[in-house]
Amino acid sequence: MDISGSFLNLGTPLSVPSQPDPVEEQHIQELQRQLQPSPLQPQQHDTIHQSPQNQHIQQQRTGVSVIQPYTSSSGLTPQPQSLLQPQTPPVGAHIPGISGGLFPSTPGGPMTPMTPITPSSADPGIVPQLQNIVSTVNLGCKLDLKKIALHARNAEYNPKRFAAVIMRIREPRTTALIFSSGKMVCTGAKSEEQSRLAARKYARIVQKLGFEAKFLDFKIQNMVGSCDVKFPIRLE
C-alpha cells in the first residue's frame, strides 16, 4: 500500500467515477422523464441556461432540491396576489356570445337638432324694423269728449260708432284715442321715444282746453316689427 499516494489524493478533489452506478443512472433517467415537457406545452427557456440533467446531478450532490417557479407562456412569473384575484376582461373588450355588450356605446358627438336651421338664423344681416308702437297713459281726470271734439283740431267724435275722441297729429305722425275716464291710447309711432313724445303732445292739447290733465302711468303695450327673411314662407 502506497501511503504517499493516498496523502496526495486527499488534496485533490474527488472525481466522478468513469462508470456511474446503475442505480444512480436509473434514478437520473426517471427524473428526466418526469421533467420532460409534454408535446402540447411549449418548451420553456431556463434563465440559468443549465440542462435538467446537470441540475439533478447538482441536487444529488448538494442534497438541496431547487423548486423552479412556474412561468406563463409570456415568460412572466405571476405574483401570489395575481393568482388569487379573479381575472376580469378589460373595459370595452368583446365578450363572445353577447351581442352589443351590456352597455352600448353612445356617440361622443353632440346631438343634432331635429328641426332644420332656417337661413334667417344664420344670416346676421336681417334686422327687423319697428312699424307700430302702442302705448297707454292716464291723464288723471274726467274729460268732456264733446268739448274736446268741438275745440280741438283734427279731432272727431261719434258716440254711436266709438265711445272715444279720435285725435291725430302730424309730428310724430300718430293717432290718439281719448276716453271720458281720462285714459288715452296712442298708436302709430315708430319707436318708444316717438310714442312718449306724441302722448305728451296729446296731454298738452287737453290741458290747453281747460282740463287738469296729468301724465301718469305711461306704458308700452305692443310693438309691431317687420323684416325680409329672403326666402318664401309656406303659409299652409
177-195: per-residue pLDDT in tens?
999 999 999 999 999 999 9
| 115 in any annotated domain | no
Q: What number of residues does the chain have?
A: 236
Which neighbouring-strand residues pair with 169?
174
| 151 in any annotated domain | yes
Question: What integer pLDDT is reported at residue 22 of this predicted model?
Answer: 73
In angstroms, rounded to a whole number, what is the distance separating the alpha carbons of residues 29 and 31? 5
| pLDDT mean over 56-75 | 52
Q: Is the pLDDT of residue 94 over 80?
A: no
Residue 95 · residue 101 · CB < 8 Å = yes
CATH code for the domain of 167: 3.30.310.10
Q: What percent of the chain has pLDDT over 90?
A: 43
Beta strands 165-169 and 155-156 are antiparallel
Read off φ and ψ for residue 167, nearest 5 degrees: -125, 140
Question: What integer pLDDT is reported at residue 113 of this predicted model?
Answer: 54
The pLDDT mean for the chain works out to: 73
| pLDDT mean over 124-134 | 88
| 189 in any annotated domain | yes
Which neighbouring-strand residues pair with 133?
189, 223
Domain containing 186: what range? 127-222
| 37 in any annotated domain | no
**Total number of domains constituting the chain:** 1
Q: How many CA atoms lie within 13 A of 94 on its CB side?
A: 4
Residue with more model confidence, 134 or 34: 134
| 132 in any annotated domain | yes
